[in-house]
Amino acid sequence: METKEIIKFWQFPSATVINRNLPKTQIFPHIKNPKDKQFLTDAVQSIYMLANFKYENTNIPKYESDDELYQEIWFYYLKMKDSGNAARVYRLLSGLIPYPIIALIDEPDDFVVYTGRLKKAANNFLKLVNVYPSPEYQKDNLQQVLESLSLADLSKQNLKTLYDDLRQLLTTQLAQQQYDQQIEVISINQKDELDQLNQMIETVKIKIRKEKQLNRKIDMQMQLHGLKQQLQSILAEKEGLL
């Protein structure tokens, strides 16, 4: 996967483009945990800075509130050595970079685009609260996928709305895949609620399989039924069926 192709297909404004390798040796001094340094060495083949969005090169205003801060948005490309480490790598980078980041993570069999939910902490430091991956895309569909995430179609009210719009696109695509529903738009709060309910459902299913006492198993089955109803109610509402 070539960074020039990613930049072209994602339609970054020329003034925002960086397209420069970021050596891991430049990152290591900022990582305190030796295990994280070793993990980065073992898991990541290369890191590229694709683009940097800020007011000075986009005329898109910054955004700041008591809880959020969007002064710049950085786009990264990471080529991984193996599969399964994308979320951990994204969390690691987000803890080092003082701006919201969007990472296209290239794994051996597919690629994923990661965004996050961030909260402003002391001294304007950003704390990653949660991560939001896209579906796993086939590499042959790179152009189609990135054009579907065209930045030209996103809100330019401020850098927060730009980031939020892209994150919502990715979150909605993943929800459509996970829950096999015709969901048009879903917020990260709604996605969090669906994921939490789904995790609770799976946990109760495991407990039911292990439980030997009939009365407890019946209680758990009733609990499972209620959780499934909650999940279906949210999905039906997102489809406009209620």
Percentage of the chain exceeding pLDDT 90: 62
What is the structure's pLDDT at 187? Answer: 82
**Residue 232, phi then psi, degrees to nearest 5:** -65, -30
Q: Kindly report, residue by residue over 13-24, the tens digit of the pLDDT.
A: 999 999 999 999
Distances (CA, A) of 184 to 132, 173, 198: 17, 9, 20
What is the structure's pLDDT at 28? Answer: 92
Q: Is the pLDDT of residue 148 over 60?
A: yes
**Residue 158, phi then psi, degrees to nearest 5:** -165, 175
What is the structure's pLDDT at 184? Answer: 77
Q: Kindly report, residue by residue over 176-210, the tens digit of the pLDDT.
A: 888 766 777 788 888 888 888 888 888 888 989 88
What is the structure's pLDDT at 125? Answer: 86
Alpha-carbon 155 to chain mean position: 18
pTM equals: 0.84
Q: Is the pLDDT of residue 232 over 90?
A: no
Q: Which residue has the higher pLDDT, 56 or 239?
A: 56
For 139-163, what is the mean pLDDT?
93
Dihedral sign (CA 223, 225, 229, 232): positive
> Lowest-pLDDT range, 37-46, 72-81, 141-150, 187-196?
187-196
Q: 124's torsion region: left (phi>0), alpha (psi -120 to 50) or beta?
A: left
With beta carbons less than 8 A apart as the criterion, state whether 133 and 170 touch: yes
Q: Which residue has the higher pLDDT, 233 or 99?
A: 99
Q: Is the pLDDT of residue 7 over 70?
A: yes
What is the structure's pLDDT at 118? Answer: 93
**Closest CA relative to residue 132, chosen from 190, 184, 82:** 190
C-alpha dihedral, 166 to 170 to 171 to 177, nearest 10°: 160
Q: Which residue has the higher pLDDT, 209 or 72?
A: 72
For 166-175, what is the mean pLDDT?
91
Is residue 85 classed as helix, strand or coil in its secondary structure? Answer: coil
With beta carbons less than 8 A apart as the criterion, state whether 18 and 55 touch: no
Q: Is the pLDDT of residue 59 over 50?
A: yes
Q: Kindly report, residue by residue over 21-58, the tens digit of the pLDDT.
A: 999 999 999 999 999 999 999 999 999 999 999 999 99
What is the structure's pLDDT at 242? Answer: 35
